[in-house]
Amino acid sequence: MAKSRKKNKTISKYIAQERIVYLFKLAKNELSQDPSRSHRYVTLARKVGMRHRVSIPASLKRNLCKKCGSLLVPGNNSRTRLKDGRITVTCLVCGEVKRYPFRPSKTELSSVHPAYDPHY
């Protein structure tokens, strides 16, 4: 009995993860036509994740405003800026600001600064 329950739980978590990804894909497609429907899809994805205790993948979580719950698409309803080693994403719906650390790769540093030698 315990084996089948555990198996069902892992299957339901896998299905929940698939649904979350699918709902985010639908939300991104619907954002230009109907923003309220897009917001509803994001809300449903978050509810599915909470119900089954599945976290939203980090790549999708970065595209989500924690304050108003809208899907952030650069140029549409968010502003993205690179400044002082940080990525700043501003939600244009509610004004919430998210900041992430940003570190350029060594190849970018060597092209910008010719004196930079990573092997020194």
Q: What is the CATH number of domain 1-61?
A: 1.20.5.420
pTM over 0.95: no
Classify strands 78-83 and 97-101 as parallel, antiparallel or unpaired. unpaired
Kindly report the number of other CB atoms within 10 A of residue 26's CB atom: 17
CA distance linking residue 31 with residue 48, whole number of Å:
20
Q: pLDDT tens digits for 16-43?
A: 999 999 999 999 999 989 999 999 999 9
Comparing 117 with 18, the larger pLDDT belongs to 18
| Bridge partner residues of 101 (DSSP) | 86
Start and end residues for every CATH 1.20.5.420 domain found in the chain: 1-61
CA distance linking residue 6 with residue 55, whole number of Å:
19
| Bridge partner residues of 74 (DSSP) | 78
